[in-house]
Amino acid sequence: MGTQSISIKVNGAEQTGEVEARLLLVHFIREDLGLTGTHIGCDTSHCGACTVILDGKAVKSCTVFAVQAAGKEVQTIEGMTTNGELHPLQEGFMEEHGLQCGFCTPGMIMSSKALLQENSNPTEEEIRIGISGNLCRCTGYVNIVKAVQYAAAKI
Amino acid sequence: MTELKTSAEIGGMGHSVKRKEDPRFIRGRGNYVDDVVRPGMLYMAIVRSPYAHAKIISINSEKALAHPGVAAVITGETLKEYNLHWMPTLMSDTQMVLPIDKVMYQAQEVAAVIATSRYAAADGVELVEVEYEPLEVVIDPFKALEPGAPVLRTDKEGQKDNRIFHWEAGDKAATDQAFKDAEVTITQDIYIPRIHVASIETCGIVAEFDSVEGQLTCWMTSQAPHAHRTVFALVAGHVGLSEEKIRIISPDIGGGFGGKVPIYPGYVIAIAATVVTGSPIKWIENRRENLQADSFARDYHMHAELAADKDGTMKALRIKTIADHGYTDAACNPAKWPAGMFSVMTGSYPFEQAFCEVDGVYTNKPPGGIAYRCSFRVTEAVHAIERLVDMLADEIDMDPAALRFKNFIKPEQFPYKTVTGWEYDSGNYAGALKLAMEMIGYEDLLKEQKEKRERGELMGIGISSFTEVVGAGPSKHFDILGLKMFDSAEIRVHPTGKVIVRLGVKSQGQGHETTFGQIVAEELGIPVKDIKVEEGDTDTAPYGLGTYASRSTPVAGAATALASRKIRDKARKIAAYLLEVNEDDLEWEPGKFFVKGVPDKVKTIQEIAFAAYTNHPQGLEAGLEAVSYYDPPNLTFPFGSYICVVDIDSGTGEVKIRRFVAVDDCGNIINPMIVEGQIHGGLTMGMAPVLMEEISYDEEGNIYGGSFMEYLMPTAMETPNWETGKTTTPSPHHPIGAKGVGESATVGAPPAIVNAIVDALSHLGVRHMEIPITPEKVWRAINGL
């Protein structure tokens, strides 16, 4: 199968790769770049564990080909910390016990980040809608909502 | 309220210590199985059967092997060369790893493709050509038991029908007599459908065989790494894999809920593949494989009956169950308990008589019968009793809360021996229900409901007062494949007073790295920040049976407390030596020994630890370590009362949970924040099968619910804001008085929600509804269809 050269800015650093056209962005991120914080939880775009931010919008990276992201900017969970400082969302998830097994957490945080970028002071209902594309099996969402509220108050 | 014995800095029992595992998870630095990469690693993908029952005529791997990147195709014939094509299940039944001549359920493993990339392996799967000849399919477990039904397990010598087991508990004759004499009887068929735990991380393994050392290392999604190691050694010992050469590493686990207790064929194939190819093999199942082939939960067809006096005094309980186990009995119950702890069905009430019988049945469905965040079939039992209680209340026109208060086992009756043989350790059932009613404003809700009903609006209130049974278990009664269900803790205090704790259990999100540290902090007064907790590596952790059935705190938690106390006993000797007094002259307070009446003659635990390595008394061994293997004297019995309020849209049949109050009593609490989190999650998994989740099959054995397209899990939109409360009734036999909590809410929530929905529709003549209660079912009920 033929390959294409791509260049994607990931967490601020230019990354290049020679990839098959069918390579999913999530596999490029996880396997070619070794950024394993982005997870895979389904194959139908329902669970949201693979959520990253592509040119400012939250996308499910299992539903984007790596070649579609060429020339664009991607942010993953690994890019949330600035100079070792936690993002308020990361802090919120820890403070409000918004995670248990941690598997959905990176995707949840990225979806929440996109939500807060669009709406810095969301209501509970808006938060619930904002994270409704991300499944969590452990927490029952109550504390995830609180974590996002914590971050919204801080940002 | 649990009394705080330590400061916030020490962070012992009762402190909401922030989780020690979180810093890595919130940075994306967790280490799950799919994150493990080994040099030269190959990828495995599995060819699965489209048929529920068929002969395999041929498997042709030629095209697959010709595909770039494909290294090998493994079939049943490959495994047969090593006698690895069959394996035992945890219930001592047998299961194909890969078939030779027949498939028994849709999505069964048929062959495995090994390739240099995930994509090439998936390509290879498409290119393996399998020719099948369909056979008659048996899906309905009742039909499976009829005379003349095709016998599915022709591989089992002496198997003449599709019955796996018949199991009974209680006194049949006395129960039957009680029903004959009863003033009121309630009868209801209740089906608890097949569901799937669907942890967000699927199952997987990286298996690496070092042919020079003969060493096998497996990073795998295992809730029970030691038990898995022993099973692998027993299954593959004949090919040279002896137990000291097998290392199972269960890294971070993305949710378990029982789904990572069984040994799946994929694990075994990957192990065979690493031995055959000499390369490390990664197999990560996709979501469809996970839902379609991994162990299911529930699938209990119950015929439930309750006998009572007209005044509501409950007298007898009788439940007959058909348990659909699929192709093989691959449940994960303790060996003596083929229907798990189902006989705990008498719940929170002092029945004089009870009898249950369960028939396990083979069908052409995937095997399983695991828990779904519950302790061995207790959810099914609680569903039955809490539904029957509400139906009795309706029948004799009594308030369901009043009926429960009238019947509850009373606090002074504990320890209470049930008629089916369980000894409940402690409880205050009325206390929990009373608190739940206060929190939700029960009386006001009744008034509101009356007014709404007059206006034609549909609102329901449902109660569930459940008793859980967890902490398996005492070795006299509980083992898995002969391995007794004790658990273990090993604690080492380093010279500088820091600690490593290793355990035989394995967290999958429950927060063990925090809570087990808190137990040590409570017992030794060492700050929890100085305590590292490590689990999941069979080369370093003490042997244990793993984490499921809410057994970690009841069993390994007790081991941790007792190992800490052994360390404290030794520390006392060292302190006496250092302070030049008798041991009896010393008094302990968290973190230090001091001479009675002379508080400034003191040695801290840190000073004592240093002395244990630098200045230990002659005649005493150096070092400060201890191990405990804890064999619990009894199970623990957490309980609670839940009240649910639903509003129903009469136009669409949509059910909205307006409020849900959960009062739990799990004994003494280690970390209130974590306990509340466990309850939130448990409630959500309790709600899920009541309103949304189900896996079903058509007559040909085709699955419905085999991907997240049709298997509907609750999102933040469907999940209400759970309200929690607690009472505290410590377990009298547990060293720290704790009981376990991870699954209580999944067990207790379903009947509260069903009872609320039925209550909302009761004036329309509705007496029972089968789960999942979809808008369509509700709409039909409203419209009398």
Residues on chain A touching B196 (C-beta within 8 angstroms): none
Tell if the CB–CB gap between A80 and B25 is shorter than 8 Å.
no
The DSSP result for B24-70, as a single string, is HHTTT---BGGG---TT-EEEEEEE-SSSSEEEEEEE-HHHHHSTTE
Six-digit token string for B689: 């099968």
Q: How many residues does chain B have?
A: 785
A vs B: CB pairs below 8 A: 175
Report CB contact under 8 Å: A40, B509: no
| DSSP classification of residue B210 | E
Q: Are B294 and B203 in contact (CB under 8 A)?
A: yes
One-letter-per-residue 3-state SS of B626-689: EEEEECCCCCECCEEEEEEEEEECCCCCCEEEEEEEEEEECECCCCHHHHHHHHHHHHHHHHHH
Q: Which amino acid is at B746?
A: T
Subunit contact B255:A78, Cβ cutoff 8 A: no
Owner of token pair 């190959």: B42
Whether A136 and chain B come into contact, CB under 8 Å, resolves to yes
On the question of pLDDT at B613 being above 90, the answer is: yes
- Can you give B442-470 as a three-state secondary structure string? HHHHHHHHHHHHHHCCEEEEEEEEEECCE
For residue B580, what are its two tokens? 């030049």
Q: Give residues with Cβ within 8 angstroms of B35, minimum separation 6.
A: A30, A36, B251
Give the 3-state secondary structure of residue A57. Answer: strand
Judge if B22-30+487-630 and B408-417+425-468+635-785 fold alike in CATH terms.
yes
Instruction: Indicate the residue of B22, B257, B284 with minimum beta-carbon distance to A99.
Output: B22
Task: Output DSSP code: residue B617.
Answer: P
**By the CB < 8 Å criterion, does A140 face chain B?**
yes
Sequence spans of domains, chain B = 22-30+487-630, 408-417+425-468+635-785
Cβ <8 Å between A42 and B255: no
- 3-state SS, residue B588: strand
CB atoms within 10 A of CB B506: 28
| Distances, alpha carbon B555 to alpha carbons B238, B446, B528, B639, B740, in Å | 33, 42, 20, 18, 9
Q: Kindly identify which residue of chain B lies nearest to residue A125, measuring between CA atoms.
A: B717
Of all residues in chain B, the one with the smallest CA distance to A42 is B287
Quick one: tokens of B374? 């519950």
Contact call for B716 and A132, based on CB within 8 A: yes
Which two structure tokens, joined as six digits, stand for B605? 């635990």
- Do the chains contact at A141 and B23, CB–CB below 8 Å? no
Q: Determine the distance in angstroms separating the CA of B188 from the nearest CA of chain A, rounded to an integer.
A: 31
Task: Tell me if residue B503 falls in helix, strand or coil.
Answer: strand
pLDDT tier, A1 (very low <50, low <70, confident <90, very high otherwise) = low
Any chain B CB within 8 A of the CB of A42?
A: yes
| Per-residue pLDDT tens over the stretch B325-342 | 999 999 999 999 999 999
Tell me the per-residue pLDDT of B480-530, one tens digit each, with 9 for 90 and over: 999 999 999 999 999 999 999 999 999 999 999 999 999 999 999 999 999
Do A135 and B715 count as a contact with CB atoms less than 8 A apart? yes
The torsion of the CA quartet A145, B652, B462, B2, rounded to 10 degrees, works out to 0
Q: What is the CATH number of domain B22-30+487-630?
A: 3.30.365.10
Residues of chain A with CATH 3.10.20.30: 3-79
- Angle subtended by helix axes A142-154 and A88-95, to nearest 10: 140
CB-based contacts of B438, cutoff 8 Å, min separation 6: none
Q: How far apart are the C-alpha atoms of B726 and B639, rounded to whole Å? A: 10
For the CA atoms of A52, A55, A57, A60, what is the dihedral angle to 10 degrees?
-40
Cβ <8 Å between A140 and B684:
yes
Which residue from A43, A76, A138 is facing B286, i.e. has the nearest CB? A43
The two three-digit tokens of residue B177, written as one number: 């007599």
Nearest-Cα distance to chain B for A80, in Å, is 8
The set of catalytic residues of B is: 223, 373-374, 743
**From A105, A134, A140, residue closest to B26, measured CB to CB:** A105
Distance in angstroms (rounded) separating the CA atoms of residues B784 and B773: 15
Query: Cβ distance B224 to B261 under 8 Å?
Result: yes
Instruction: Reduce the DSSP state of residue B136 to 3 states and report it.
Output: coil
Print the SS3 string covering B106-122. CCCEEEEEEECCHHHHH
Crossing angle of helices B378-395 and B400-407, in 10° steps, is: 110
CB contact under 8 A, A36 and B28: yes
Residue B56, pLDDT > 80, answer yes
Residues on chain B touching A94 (C-beta within 8 angstroms): 18-19, 22-23, 26
d(CA A17, CA B673) in angstroms, rounded, equals: 44
Residues of chain B contacting A132 with CB distance shorter than 8 Å: 715-717
Residues in A touching B656 (Cβ below 8 Å): none
Contact state of A39 with B707 under an 8 Å Cβ cutoff: no
| A81, A104, A131: residue with CB nearest B27 | A81
Minimal Cα–Cα distance from B715 to chain A, Å?
Answer: 5
Is B407 within 8 Å of B314 (Cβ atoms)? yes
Distance of alpha carbon B17 from alpha carbon B514, whole angstroms: 7
Judge residue A150's burial from the number of C-beta atoms within 10 Å of its C-beta, 0-12 exposed, 13-18 middle, 19 or more buried.
buried
Strands A73-75 and A51-54: antiparallel
Helix, strand and coil percent figures for chain B, each rounded to 5: 30, 25, 40
> Chain B residue with minimal CA distance to A46?
B708
Those residues with Cβ within 8 angstroms of residue B154's Cβ, 6 or more apart along the chain or in another chain: none
Average of per-residue pLDDT across B348-353: 98
Q: What is the b/e burial string over B646-676, where b = at least 16 CB atoms within 10 angstroms of the residue's CB?
A: bbbebeebebebebbbbbbbbbbbbbbbbbb
* Rg, C-alpha atoms of chain A: 15
Tell me if chain B has a CB within 8 Å of the CB of A149.
no
- Any idea how long chain A is? 155
The Cα–Cα gap between B606 and B604 comes to 5
Is the Cβ pair A100, B509 closer than 8 Å?
yes
Matching residue, tokens 């010992």: B237
Q: What is the average pLDDT across B288-299?
A: 97
pLDDT for A87: 98
SS3 (DSSP) at B328: coil
Chain A residues near residue B34 by CB distance under 8 angstroms: 30, 36, 39-40
Q: What is the mean pLDDT of residues B21-26?
A: 98
CB B397 within 8 A of CB B311: no
Tokens of B216: 């096998």
Contact A101 B253 (CB under 8 A): yes
**Nearest CB to A90; choose among B27, B286, B719:** B27
Calculate how close chain B gets to A18, using CA atoms only, in Å: 15
pLDDT surpassing 70 at residue B2:
no
Q: Is the dihedral of CA B714, B191, B223, B486 positive or negative?
A: positive
Residue of A49, A90, A94 with shortest CB distance to B200: A49
Radius of gyration of chain B (CA): 27
Q: Are the C-beta atoms of residues B648 and B775 closer than 8 Å to each other?
A: no
Amino acid at A117: Q
Model pTM score:
0.98
* A70 in contact with chain B, both atoms CB, cutoff 8 A: no
CA B274 – CA A137 distance, rounded (Å): 32
B408-417+425-468+635-785 fold: Aldehyde Oxidoreductase; domain 4 (3.30.365)
* CA neighbor of B361 nearest in space, from B318, B305, B320: B320
**CA B279/CA B216 separation, integer angstroms:** 11
Is there a contact between B25 and A142 if contact means CB atoms under 8 Å apart?
no
A131/B28 Cβ within 8 A = no
B719 contacts on A by Cβ (under 8 Å):
140-142
Stretch B313-317: mean pLDDT:
98
Quick check: B352 and B419 in contact, CB under 8 A? Answer: yes
**Phi first, then psi: what are they for B686, rounded to 5°?**
-75, -40
Cβ(B455)–Cβ(B527) below 8 Å: no
Q: What pLDDT band is residue B406 in, cutting at 50, 70 and 90?
A: very high
Helix (H, G, I), strand (E, B) or coil at B603: strand
Cα A32 → chain centroid: 17
Nearest chain A Cα to B32, which residue?
Answer: A103
Q: A residues 89-118 near B, CB within 8 Å? A: 90-91, 93-95, 97, 99-106, 109
d(CA B219, CA B260): 13
Interface test with B, best of A20, A101, A123, A125 (most B CBs within 10 A): A101
- Smallest CA-to-CA distance from A72 within A3, A4, A5, A6 is with A6
For helices A105-118 and A142-154, give the axis angle rounded to 10 degrees. 50
Contacts of A46 in chain B (CB under 8 A): 708-709
Query: What is the residue-averaged pLDDT of chain A?
Result: 97
Q: Which residues of A touch B682 (CB under 8 A)?
A: 140
Q: If we measure between CA atoms, which residue out of A124, A58, A36 comes closest to residue B24? A: A36
The DSSP 8-state label assigned to residue B764 in this structure reads G
Contact A101 B201 (CB under 8 A): yes
Please tell me which residue of chain B has the smallest CA distance to A126.
B717
The CATH class of A88-154 is mainly alpha
CA distance A151 to chain B (A): 13
Q: What is the pLDDT of residue B3?
A: 78
Asked, as a colleague might, if the bond just before B50 is cis with ω within 30 of 0, I would say no
Q: Which CATH topology does A3-79 take?
A: Ubiquitin-like (UB roll) (3.10.20)
| B201: closest chain A residue by CA | A41
Nearest to B242 by CA among B256, B232, B250: B232
- The per-residue DSSP string of A34-56 comes to --TTS----SSS-S-TTEEEETT
Which ranges in chain A are annotated with CATH 1.10.150.120? 88-154
- A137 and B685 within 8 Å at the Cβ level: the answer is yes
- The rounded mean pLDDT for chain B is 97
pLDDT of residue B44: 98
Tell me which chain B residue has its CA closest to the CA of residue A140.
B681
* Mutation target vs A (from B26, B221, B250, B535; most A CBs, 10 A cutoff): B26
